[in-house]
Structure 1
C-alpha cells in the first residue's frame, strides 16, 4: 500500500491544533447568546488551521446542515493536499446552545479515517442510537427492552441497576425512554445537547455515564463511532427519518431504514483518529481558561491503531486574552 494513502501517527497532534483553534475562536462567544456567531468563528479558525495540515481530506461529516449554521461543508477538500487521502468529520462546536448560554459541555471535535471508510448519513438528519462502554460491547442490542439493556450493563460493570446512569438528550420525543429508564430503577442524565461528548464519556469510568441512548444527529453518530473505534465500547444506530420525504431520500441513497448499523459500519477504517478540545467545562474536558496573556486549553486525542489516548494541556500566547486590571 502506498504510505501516502495511510494517515500517519503524527497526524494526531496536527488534529489537536485544529480543535484547539476552533475552541479558542468559539470561547470569545461563550455566554453571548449567539450560536451561529460562535459556530462561524470556530469554522473559520479550523478551516485556516486545516490548510496547514499535511493531508488530502474530504469532508464527509460537515456539521451545520440540519440547522442552517455555518459549516465546513460536505465534499469540501481540507488539508494542504500533500498527505494521506482521508475522510474528515467535524463538529466545530458540539453543544452550540451550551456555548451560547455559557453552560458546561461544549467541545470542538474532528475525526479522520482512510478515504472511503466513513458512513455518509447526509440523506437523513437523525439516528436512534445506543452506546455502551467496553465492558458491555457485544452484549446489548438496540432493539432490546430498556430494562434488559440496563441489567446487562449493570452486570457487565459489576454494579447495581440503581447505580447505572443513562445519558439522554432532553427532548419531548424521549419521554417514554426516560420513563422506562427510571421505571427499571436506573438514573437519567438529561443533556441539553452534546451526544458525542456523552458517547466518549461512556468509555471513561470517571465520567459517571454508563449508557447513552436516544435519537440524535446522524453526523454525531459517525463522530461518536470514530471515538469508540479508538477508545473501545460500541455504538449501534438506525436512521430515524422524520417523514416520508426523508424515507424516500434515504432509500434513494441506498440506505436500509431497518438496518442496525454497528461501530464498524459507521467508520470502517483501521487507522482512525479522533480529537476534541473543551470550549466550556465538562466532565470530559476543561474549557478554555485565560491567565494573563495566555489561553489554556485541554484536549483529548485518540488513535485506533495504537489504542492510545492522550490528554493534552496547552498554553497559547494570545494577546487578545483578557488581562487583570
Structure 2
C-alpha cells in the first residue's frame, strides 16, 4: 500500500490547483467584464486586481508573486513579492489580472485574465520592461526559428517545416511604430501580417492552437507578458525565445539584480522563462479567436469560458462555467 505521507505534496495537489486557478481567473474576468465598453481601463483593471487577489485567499498554496502589478510601492495588491494563498506547496505566481485593459475598455477582442503557477524559483524574475519575442507552435523541428535570424529567413524556415508556402504564413505582431521594419520585411518575404492593438499573450498562445490563425508571433512586448506566454507555451509544447530590452542603465541594473548572476541581456529560451511543473489558466473577458468573453444571460447569471493547462501532463482543457449570483435560500426552520 502506498503511504500518502511519502508522496510529494505537489504531485497530490497540482491537478486540483489547476482547477483552483480557473476560479481565480473567472473571478477577475467577471469583475472586469462589468467595465467592458465603458472606456475606463483603470477601473476595469482595478476590479480585476481586487477580485483576483480575493480569490487567491482560497487557493491552497504558499505563493509569492514574481510577475505582478509592479513593485510594492507601485501597486496596492498583487505586487512583486506579495504573499498569497491559504498555505500549501511553495509556488511562484505570475499574474496579469486584465491582459488588454484597452481591449476591455473599448470592447475589442482578446481581453483575458491570466494566471500561471510554477514551483518556487522556476519563473524568470523579469522587471516591467520590454522583451523581444518569437513564438511558434508544436510539432516543429527544434530551432525552426531563431530570435537572431531575419524575419524573412524565419518565415521561409517555418514554411518549409510546415510543408507550405511562405504566402500561407501569418505573422502576428503588435501594431506599433517600432515594428514597422519587421512588418515590411515579413510582407516583402510574401507572408501575411496580422496586427493587434494589444494582447500579446493571447497572440502567442494562438500559435499553438488549431485554428488560431497565427503561424509566427514576433516583435517586442512586455517582459511580464513574455513570462506568462512562456508558461502557456511550455504546456502546449510550442517553442519560444526572448531577450530583455533595456532603455537605460537603470533598467539594466534592475534586471541584473533579478538575474542571480546571469547575463540579463542573454537570449532566453523557454525553460529560462518558465521551467519545472507549470500551471496556466486564462479566462476570456471579451470574445476573441482563443476564448469567448463573459456572457451575462441575466442580472443574476454569468457564463465564462476558460483554458487551463498543466505542463506535467500537457493537458489543455477548455472550461465553460455557469455562475449564479442569486442569494441562497435560508433553510426551512
Match of 2:204 in 1: 199
**1:141 Cα deviation (Å)?**
1.0
Contact kept, 8 Å, 2:206 with 2:290, in 1: the verdict is: yes
Task: Classify 1:272/1:161 alpha carbon distance in 2 versus 1 (closer, same or farther; 3 Å).
Answer: same
**1:193 Cα deviation (Å)?**
0.9
Contact kept, 8 Å, 1:39 with 1:69, in 2: the verdict is: no
Given the alignment, which residue of 97, 104, 125 partners 1:120?
Answer: 125
Task: Classify 1:172/1:19 alpha carbon distance in 2 versus 1 (closer, same or farther; 3 Å).
Answer: same
Question: Does 92-101 or 288-297 show the bigger shift?
Answer: 288-297
Match of 2:3 in 1: none
Could you say what the CA RMSD is over the residues aligned between the two structures, in angstroms? 1.9
**2:287 is aligned with 1:281:** yes
5+ residue gaps, structure 2, are: 1-5, 328-333
Match of 2:178 in 1: 173
**2:47 is aligned with 1:52:** no
Report the 3-state secondary structure (helix = DSSP H, G, I; strand = E; otherwise coil) of the residue aligned with 1:52.
coil
**2:142 is aligned with 1:135:** no
Instruction: Please report the TM-score for the alignment, with normalisation by the length of structure 2.
Output: 0.90
5+ residue gaps, structure 1, are: 321-325
**1:138 Cα deviation (Å)?**
2.4
Report the 3-state secondary structure (helix = DSSP H, G, I; strand = E; otherwise coil) of the residue aligned with 2:268.
coil
Given the alignment, which residue of 65, 87, 92 partners 2:92?
Answer: 87
Question: Does 304-313 or 149-158 show the bigger shift?
Answer: 149-158
In 1, Cα distance between equivalents of 2:84 and 2:17: 13
Instruction: Please report the TM-score for the alignment, with normalisation by the length of structure 1.
Output: 0.92
Over residues 240-291 of structure 1, what are the superposed CA-to-partner deviations in whole Å (9 max), with x where a residue is unaligned?
Answer: 001233223333444524411000000121x210000000001000000111
In 1, Cα distance between equivalents of 2:136 and 2:230: 11
**1:72 Cα deviation (Å)?**
1.1
Aligned length: 316
Contact kept, 8 Å, 2:245 with 2:265, in 1: the verdict is: no
In 1, Cα distance between equivalents of 2:189 and 2:85: 48
Task: Classify 1:58/1:184 alpha carbon distance in 2 versus 1 (closer, same or farther; 3 Å).
Answer: same
Contact kept, 8 Å, 1:35 with 1:97, in 2: the verdict is: yes
Task: Classify 1:129/1:207 alpha carbon distance in 2 versus 1 (closer, same or farther; 3 Å).
Answer: same
Over residues 182-212 of structure 1, what are the superposed CA-to-partner deviations in whole Å (9 max), with x where a residue is unaligned?
Answer: 1101011111111111111000120110111
Match of 1:40 in 2: 46
